[in-house]
Structure 1
Amino acid sequence: MGSKQRHLSSVLAGLAVLALAGCDSAPEFAETSAPLQVSVMTLMPHELAISEVLPARVAAVRSAEIRAQIGGIVQHRLFEQGAEIEAGAVLFQINPAPFKTEVDSAAAVLQRANAAVARARLQVERLAPLVQAEAVSRQTYDDAVALREQASADVAQAKATLARRKLDLQFASVEAPIAGRIDQALVSEGALVSPSDATPMARIQQIDQVYVDVRQSASVLDTLRQQAGSATPELGVDILGSDGKPLGMRGRILFSGIEVDAGTGDVLLRVLVDNPQRRLLPGLYVQARIPRAHYSAALSVPQQAVTRTAGQAKVWVVDAQGQVQPESIEVGELLGGNYRVVSGLSAGQQVVIEGIERLSPDAQVATRLWQPAATHEQLNAAAR
């Protein structure tokens, strides 16, 4: 019996030692547990431009309808359809013969009026000494003076009529009022035209510069005006094709809208674009990238780093001790998968981008630099 009791005592003593050893190793295991692996990004201020792509339509800077100012038969068309026309170039020739005849007739009337006024003046000069000598009555002299004044008025009227007839003759040559590209001729030789015609003879549009008209919400118009008047880089608009591809053309905003559409709340935003190669034609639908805001030192975080609790945006920030803490932030625009940080963070802080699902306050982490995934555009460029 004694030997069995001694053996049982030894076993119990061993178990007690193992239990004590286990109690001592638990905190040691907790202290030596590995930190969580996370990917972080260091916040750095950068220039950020916010823009919006809106549909737009091209309009000519200047447009003119060619119309006849006199009635007559079109004899000649003196331009190539679709050609560039200089201001003052003769486009159509209306038969000038009737107007030349009217000029000659008006000139003859003026000549007769000049002869009448000369005779009336001579009569007054003859009667002046006779009326003083009472050789003729005063009434006779007054009648001669009245005839002289009437003859002078007839001369003035004849001159005006002759000027008008010469102007009609000039209008027989239909000229271009502006420089630009002329469209197709809408009348042909032999057609009878008149100033009352509903259809013009042709149209000219100046398209070396064009307007790109955009409908923009009136609520952001003041912001655009402030940017245009500030010290920020020039407020320009990039023109894109209807498919969204850049055309390599840039314009400037004119702010020509003066009335807000009561139904949509939009205002016309007019953009002036140089068009030396005539790539933009009036009526063409394009897209315009309109600047909305510009920040010279913005902070941005990837969308995947932001979590929301009860509507409050938060990110995990790594402190100097390698521990993470949740920080409430205010975010602004979402651009290219990144939120602009309005408040709550400062430059130089490290924000956790990947591994946030395992984090808890004061958790120890091991950080590595976050590498953003390549975009489709970058992958396509690398493939080429």
Structure 2
Amino acid sequence: MAAKLWVPTLTACALATSIALVGCSNDKKDAQQAAASQQAPMVEVGVIVAQPQNVEKTVELAGRTSPYEVSEVRPQTSGVILKRLFAEGSYVKAGQPLYQIDSRANRASVENAQASLLQQEANLNSLTTKMNRYNQLVGINAVAKQDYDDLVGQVKVAKAQVEAARAALNSAQINLGYSTIRAPISGQTDRSSFTAGALVTSGQADALVKIQRLDPIYVDITQSSSDLLRLRQELKKGSLDNSNNAKVKLKLEDGSTYGNQGNLAFADASVDTSTGSITIRAVFSNPDRLLLPGMYVTAQIVEGVVPNAYLVPQIAVSRTPTGQATVFIVNAKGIVETRNVQTAAAQGQNWIVTSGLKPGDKVIADGVAKVKEGQQVKTTPYQPAPAQAATPANPVAPVAKPNASAPAQSSSKQQAQQHA
């Protein structure tokens, strides 16, 4: 009976002993983890030191190239084209002969006008001599005053006829000059629409050839009216300075950058109601004629200079669900802090930060995902990652051919065995 009473007591003692042993082991594990955490090295992050500077604010807009001058050459006199005097697609200078039209009819008109002028001049000389004689006789009443007055009127009419004949001669000479069609501007020619033997007429609808001046060349850029309003508001508030003439850079269709900078020429005074945008025109020098009319380009326009701004790598800036831009700052004690900032625009791989930073702030740019606010970190200067070399899209293993031929060899051996 006494033995039965001791059994619960012994069981309780054993259970208490096991619980004490488990508690000791847990305390030992916690102590080990604490020691390991103290011995673990701090997270190393790459930082940039914020320094205020004047930053150019640029915007990228789509555009199309258009010729600086365009002339569609049409005949100003009628006739048959005798020959073409230029090479299609060549560069021609202003005044250079392009076509020769049969000038025989125009030359005959000039000769006819010259004869008419001589006739009218002879008539004027005869009447002038007669008027001078009547002028002496009318003084002694040898000639009626009425006859003298009529003769004075005839002389005036003859003078007018001489001037008309002289004008007709000038017109005939101009038409004769039009028999040689010349380039009105300097530029690049297109293909000729007419050949020798074609009959052309004055003022016809079809152009003989089109000439385009390509140096300099225009770039017509499209900008939304909302962006234009924003730009004007920034200029009004003084947050943007555009005291210098805006410069424009171009990116070509192949991604390369055009070597020459351009200048803004003008902007439309009205908004296109169908697109809600305006057209801005820039002028570029094009000495090598690399830019051709109709090419699609991307224009980088320097809208102005943002004073006392900071350039922060884009990977250093994150957004809250409400859209607020934030960065991680390492304070003087090496502790991570969160800072709200204001961004104006992007410049390459950086954000233009206008407020929220102070000179000397250490902004974390490398290792943002590894840290949190309140954590102590070790800082090193941020080093942007170098561009990686492009690798082939479909690399071919050198062992492909032996592996590929193995099944063919085995199948040929099986066929040989079957035939045997």
Same fold (TM over 0.5): yes
Q: Which moved more, 1:252-261 or 1:365-374?
A: 365-374
Q: Output the aligned Cα RMSD.
A: 3.2
**Residue deviations 1:20-79, cap 9 Å, x none?**
xx9xx99xx79x946852415142325543433332211111111111111111111111
Q: Which moved more, 1:306-315 or 1:75-84?
A: 306-315
Equivalent-residue separation in structure 2 for 1:220 and 1:108 (angstroms): 69
Q: Which moved more, 1:55-64 or 1:329-338?
A: 329-338
Among residues 279, 293, 309, which one is paired with 2:290 in the alignment? 279
Alignment partner, residue 112 of structure 1: 119
Q: Percent of aligned positions with the same letter in both sequences? A: 31
Among residues 239, 251, 273, which one is paired with 2:262 in the alignment? 251
Equivalent-residue separation in structure 2 for 1:143 and 1:304 (angstroms): 101
- The residue identity in structure 2 corresponding to 1:321 is K
Q: Cα–Cα, structure 1 residues 125 and 203, in superposed 2: closer, same or farther, change >3 Å? A: same
Alignment partner, residue 337 of structure 2: 325
Among residues 40, 43, 55, which one is paired with 1:37 in the alignment? 43
Among residues 299, 316, 320, which one is paired with 2:328 in the alignment? 316
**Residue deviations 1:208-260, cap 9 Å, x none?**
211111111234447489678515xx632222221322233322221242322
Alignment partner, residue 400 of structure 2: none
Equivalent-residue separation in structure 2 for 1:303 and 1:128 (angstroms): 101
Whether contact under 8 Å (1:299, 1:347) holds in the other structure is: no
Alignment partner, residue 160 of structure 2: 153
**Structure 2 residue 388 is matched with structure 1 residue 379:** yes
Alignment partner, residue 247 of structure 2: 236
Q: Cα–Cα, structure 1 residues 241 and 314, in superposed 2: closer, same or farther, change >3 Å? A: closer
Equivalent-residue separation in structure 2 for 1:308 and 1:57 (angstroms): 35
1:284-323 to 2 correspondences below 5 Å = 284-295=295-306, 297-309=308-320, 311=322, 312-323=324-335
Q: Which moved more, 1:316-325 or 1:180-189?
A: 316-325
1:336-355 to 2 correspondences below 5 Å = 336-353=348-365, 354=367
**Residue deviations 1:312-365, cap 9 Å, x none?**
44333332233333333323324445433221211211234426665344x5x1
Among residues 167, 175, 178, which one is paired with 2:174 in the alignment? 167
Q: Which moved more, 1:78-87 or 1:332-341?
A: 332-341
- The residue identity in structure 1 corresponding to 2:298 is Q
Equivalent-residue separation in structure 2 for 1:215 and 1:188 (angstroms): 40
Q: Cα–Cα, structure 1 residues 123 and 219, in superposed 2: closer, same or farther, change >3 Å? A: same
**SS class of match (2:188):** strand
Whether contact under 8 Å (1:333, 1:340) holds in the other structure is: yes
Alignment partner, residue 209 of structure 1: 216
**SS class of match (1:332):** strand
Equivalent-residue separation in structure 1 for 2:213 and 2:221 (angstroms): 20
Alignment partner, residue 89 of structure 1: 96
Q: Which moved more, 1:304-313 or 1:118-127?
A: 304-313
Q: Cα–Cα, structure 1 residues 163 and 310, in superposed 2: closer, same or farther, change >3 Å? A: closer
**Residue deviations 1:114-155, cap 9 Å, x none?**
111111111112222322222222211112111111111111
**Structure 2 residue 205 is matched with structure 1 residue 198:** yes
**Structure 2 residue 67 is matched with structure 1 residue 60:** yes
> Could you tell me the TM-score, scaled by structure 2's length?
0.75
Whether contact under 8 Å (1:58, 1:286) holds in the other structure is: yes
Equivalent-residue separation in structure 2 for 1:289 and 1:343 (angstroms): 25
**SS class of match (2:109):** helix
- The residue identity in structure 1 corresponding to 2:43 is Q
Unmatched runs of 5 consecutive residues or more in structure 2 = 1-19, 393-420
